[in-house]
Structure 1
């Protein structure tokens, strides 16, 4: 007969945090949160879970030491339930720390930093994430389907952060954005060293730099489509698009497509035209503040 362990002891035995194991057990349909306690569900009992009354610590759930967390059929109400994992587990896949992994998920716009812990965004929910809360401390955190490690946007961002070359698959992809970038080469050098494609973009980039606002140029949107923004501000998860070439029919078509994508995914977007670029000191601070980004 297999030795039984408390959830905390089983987590320690498996070299993971108690929070992570509770999340896995919940995802498998073995337990359910009920007030301030965990309730053992039928699937959990079938897997070997049982209540134990300790004279000092009270009532808690114990599990077989060799408990299997294969969840494909554990939850009778959802046979297709996928195992949910924390940023710690995802990070191990890419040889990154949990903090580094959460920073990347935040940069993608999938989570936001809370006073303590992390909260999910609408984009994170669309990517398959689920909001959780530590039952002892109340600190929020997010769990993800195990298949998130195959997400194209996530893999691309990690590859860029680690300084790795883009995959051959990514290099072979074509889009209106990539064709546009090929046609208009980035030759103008900004104050912070970026190379941009127009004087208007140079003025915007220089303004952001002088305002001490961290920003990226031509950041790929965290979606499956091959779409790039003009500027991205990680603080606030804000995208900036400068619309030029208003007399070009192909450009106007591309503009309409991108506007629809921003709307579809609910991304925060600041749109600038030539008249705005001539008056950035008045225009950008006001627009940024609407999205929680303070300048000057």
Structure 2
């Protein structure tokens, strides 16, 4: 008959969820429709699907050695060169929680039901998704090169209250003089100074809707590009496109659109017509990214 996973956990002085996490990480079982299913690899090790008092369950050989997997996993974790949030925090002088907050703000990780999961952007920076075999809680690990990432270092510097230095060798998509040409002299309700009346209306709308936002936030990429607005909730960027008849402005617009598309960022684009009717347009556009305004 074999033994159930619950009995297997009891025999190894572990919680059942710990054992399920180990077996899943080794590819012996998989989750299907909120239930555990046996894989071919699990069957090869002698496990079978049996019928019990409460329905079907996976039965393991009486002499099944679970320690071979937990020991291997511990060894692999000890031997690899990947860094967890605790190690990254130690390098920068932050707590692991602060590191996860920074990585989340960059859009490199996102919160799961429990723990943290790498996003597509995080995976591009070398993130590896892991699960604790003891608790099953997901977490991410990173290559040592992440410590030298200009993007991460710049964000850490910002969190520490230091000014952000621009690397003169960076490709500056935004350096055609637009930000210098248009002075930020329009004061918004929340005290921001923005560069146009349209941006003032957008900022005031976000403030009145109690939506936390940043103005001219730099995108977390190697290129030097600044968004008009950034909403941390939903990781959404807002761009207002004006001056549609100016060739240099249109070139800047095209370059920025390509950047947003290249990195797959969440983007809301507004024209003058839409800005004049923000109550009709912006709530719907924000809702597409899970942000409610009412």
TM-score normalised per structure 1: 0.72
Describe how 1:217-236 pairs up with structure 2 within 5 A.
Answer: 217-236=215-234
Q: Residue 199 of structure 1 is aligned with which of 197, 212, 222?
A: 197
Match of 1:39 in 2: none
Describe how 1:253-272 pairs up with structure 2 within 5 A.
Answer: 253-272=251-270
1:70 deviation in Å?
Answer: 6.6
Q: Residue 153 of structure 1 is aligned with which of 144, 151, 163?
A: 151
Q: Residue 177 of structure 1 is aligned with which of 163, 174, 184?
A: 174
Structure-1 separation of matches of 2:77 and 2:265: 40
1:34 deviation in Å?
Answer: 5.0
Give the 3 Å change call, closer, same or farther, for CA 58–152 of structure 1 in structure 2.
Answer: closer
Give the 3 Å change call, closer, same or farther, for CA 170–187 of structure 1 in structure 2.
Answer: farther
Match of 2:95 in 1: 97
Match of 2:278 in 1: 280
1:189 deviation in Å?
Answer: 1.1
Aligned-residue CA RMSD in angstroms? 2.7
Q: Residue 61 of structure 1 is aligned with which of 55, 71, 75?
A: 71
- Number of aligned pairs? 233
Structure-1 separation of matches of 2:169 and 2:271: 32
1:35 deviation in Å?
Answer: 3.9
Match of 1:215 in 2: 213
Secondary structure of 1:103's counterpart equals helix
C-alpha deviations, 1:120-172, integer Å up to 9, x for none? 111111111111112232211111111111111111111111101223x5378
C-alpha deviations, 1:96-120, integer Å up to 9, x for none? 1111111111111111112211111
Match of 2:45 in 1: none
Structure-2 separation of matches of 1:61 and 1:173: 45
Structure-1 separation of matches of 2:154 and 2:77: 33
C-alpha deviations, 1:245-274, integer Å up to 9, x for none? 111101101101111111111111000000
Secondary structure of 2:167's counterpart equals helix
Structure-1 separation of matches of 2:268 and 2:27: 43
Structure-1 separation of matches of 2:291 and 2:113: 17
Structure-1 separation of matches of 2:133 and 2:293: 38
Match of 1:16 in 2: none
Describe how 1:1-150 pairs up with structure 2 within 5 A.
Answer: 33=26, 35=28, 61=71, 83-150=81-148
Match of 2:21 in 1: none
The 8 Å contact of residues 194 and 200 in structure 2, kept in 1 or not, is answered as yes
Match of 1:19 in 2: none
Structure-2 separation of matches of 1:173 and 1:265: 17
1:252 aligned onto 2:259: no
Give the 3 Å change call, closer, same or farther, for CA 159–115 of structure 1 in structure 2.
Answer: same
| Higher-Rg member (1/2) | 2
Match of 1:78 in 2: none
Match of 1:241 in 2: 239
TM-score normalised per structure 2: 0.73
Which structure 2 residue ranges, 5 or more long, are not aligned? Answer: 1-24, 30-65
